[in-house]
Structure 1
């Protein structure tokens, strides 16, 4: 029995495989410890090593087996199929390793730039670039890995050659069909590099106010103020205009409009605005004022400007100022609230004039 096993053609190959796999796992163990220690000062690389460590436990034994099977005699039965299957597994595992490496590096970069702080402009810039570029790179790696696996099959190469023979027509058709995909891919790269929008930016798009909640490889998710979600393709933000309230800073200047009678004195209103704004925690201390900006035949338009740290605080501050001014005028100057005037003397004169005109009309005979 022992002699039959020793004389089997596959004995030497399997013996080499049984030795190579534990050696590969030992290399993984030692190499992992060394890399963990070396990359500790660099959070991004350290995160990448941690993310790749479980997958590398599969890749290294497959590499060892590939070397063993390549060194085996070519006349062994089924050696071609074994080599092909091992190669497919290695390509799949290597693709998985590359995806995990990109994901781990991106996570390490994001850990160094937390965006849940008050002044998060730089962090949001890094977050947007990292996520979009990482997703694009992972998509390209997956496509490349799938293509490499297909190219290991002779039939796939023959199909590719036949497709190349009619590449003119097929290229035009494929280009037209894939236009939205490629436009979104290019738009994603433009957004990552030029950054017209970032994660957590406040936008006004299609008449809706909301924050950028997520940027994927094909679309942008906006969280509207009433918790709805607005989904827009990436190409929208390259081709169409929109408002970005936090492009360079989240600070905003809010405006409040109040209408009052011409008899309303302005100095008490200015004093009340100063009291309201300075007592409001939403005010950032930069600026406020009150001015008469327009007039009509019945009222004057009073505008109050005040600043806040972000759009949400600006909205709350505007509401407080508006409510405070209305309450002040109702309490102290109710006679100067906007109202429709009708002069009684003028109405009587018009009635007498109409009666005189009626009496002046000659009656028919």
Structure 2
């Protein structure tokens, strides 16, 4: 198939060689190569310009298309050089060696181009879906699954490229044919599948397509809260609150319980706990909490409750229940309400605050 696809280029190269008969023989090959590279550059520039104009309204698409220029130019140039070698130096010494070198380069550039093309297709699909669904849960789900599929396709392309290069070597080709024909191939594949690396790959696909977590989900792992930043074939990157990144194998999310605070929606509820004396102004705190919540844009209006949940050893436990649109807003809202209430208690009701000696010891 590759040979038949390059036949028009070989015919063009033959015509170029015939047209360059007036050039000294010592320079003819390099002139033909230069002409081929120039043609490759022109084709690359024209196609790039056309596609960028088509997708001029999408900055992401323009950047992805621009990123495909170099691998496309490299693949086209490799075909040009191979064709020039075939037409002009077929009977020369070391011809087979240089043909093999340029074949390797062609496969490498072509694989690189196809990988970049899958990235471009991913960007195009996500751009269309974002316009349709907006920045929501559906987009996060599709983004996770498409991103994982792109990585699977890239891995397959790399394996095919390596196999294509190896199978051009006669000794390796014979060995590969023997392995593929043997009945032991299935047992080898099964044996590899149970190993940790492939187990992580399968776990990564399971995590993405069962919708257990998505890019952008807020989760709690290893007693740390963070946001899912990236899901790959073998590991998941979690961005923690303090800016650190925790990298966990995909099998962690299929074998270990974890919290997903945004599994169905980002809305979340929380509590504020205050230890106060029995003479604390509970009614005032209840009224003041409502005023603080209603005055804040962080509160989503769902939960607003203050109750006494315990009374032991001269202290009462005042628990405030509140809610927000997402965990980040809940954190900011909780700290704001706690700070305001404590400031007012210190200023207006200092006798209601517990003596440090009354607080339970922390082991």
- The answer to whether the 8 Å contact 1:282/1:314 transfers is yes
Aligned to 1:144: 160
Could you tell me whether the CA contact under 8 Å between 1:43 and 1:112 is conserved in 2? Answer: no
Deviations 1:53-95 (CA, angstroms, capped at 9, x unpaired): 2222222233344455566797665444443333222212211
Match of residue 188, structure 1, among 204, 208, 213: 204
Determine if the alignment matches structure 1 residue 53 to structure 2 residue 72: no
Does structure 1 residue 318 correspond to structure 2 residue 331? no
Could you tell me which runs of 5 or more consecutive residues in structure 1 were left unpaired when the two chains were aligned: 341-365
CA shift in 2, pair 1:193/1:42, >3 Å: farther
Moved more, 162-171 or 188-197: 162-171
Query: Residues 205 and 233 of structure 2 are in contact (CA less than 8 Å); yes or no, is this contact kept in structure 1?
Result: no
What is aligned with 1:226? 242
Deviation at 1:239, TM superposition (A): 2.2
The residue number in structure 2 matching 1:308 is 324
Q: What does residue 105 of structure 2 align with? A: 89
C-alpha offsets along residues 301-338 of structure 1, whole Å, 9 cap, x if unaligned?
33211122322331232233233334444444455555
User: How far is the alpha carbon of 1:234 from its aligned partner?
Assistant: 1.4
* Equivalent residues of 1:222, 1:229 under 8 A apart: yes
1:31-68 superposed Cα distances (whole Å, 9 cap, x missing partner): 44444444557777655543222222222233344455
Change (3 A) 1:321 1:35: closer
Q: Secondary structure at the match of 1:250?
A: coil
Question: Displacement, 1:235?
Answer: 1.7
Instruction: Give yes or no for contact 1:49–1:104 (8 Å, CA) kept in 2.
Output: yes
Question: Match of 1:149, SS?
Answer: helix
For the residue of structure 1 that corresponds to 2:184, the secondary structure is: helix
Q: How many residues align?
A: 332
Normalising by the residue count of structure 1, what TM-score does the alignment of the two structures yield? Answer: 0.72
> For the residues of structure 2 that align with 1:142 and 1:268, how far apart are their CA atoms?
67
Matches within 5 A, 1:136-215: 136-161=152-177, 163=179, 168=184, 171-172=187-188, 175-176=191-192, 179-215=195-231
Question: Which structure 2 segments of 5+ residues have no match?
Answer: 1-20, 357-363
Alignment of 1:1-365 (within 5 A): 22-40=38-56, 48-67=64-83, 77-109=93-125, 121-161=137-177, 163=179, 168=184, 171-172=187-188, 175-176=191-192, 179-264=195-280, 266-296=282-312, 298-337=314-353
- Deviations along 1:93-133, one digit per CA (max 9) or x if unpaired, are 2112112212333345566688xxx9654554444334333
CA distance in 1, matches of 2:64, 2:339: 54
Shift of 1:232: 0.7
Q: Is the 8 A contact 2:61 2:123 kept in 1?
A: no
Larger Rg: 1
After TM superposition, the score normalised by the length of structure 2 is 0.73
Deviation at 1:268, TM superposition (A): 2.0
Matched position secondary structure for 1:227: coil
Relative to structure 1, is the Cα distance of residues 11 and 151 closer, same or farther in structure 2, using a 3 angstrom cutoff? farther
CA–CA distance in 2 between the matches of 1:322 and 1:108? 46
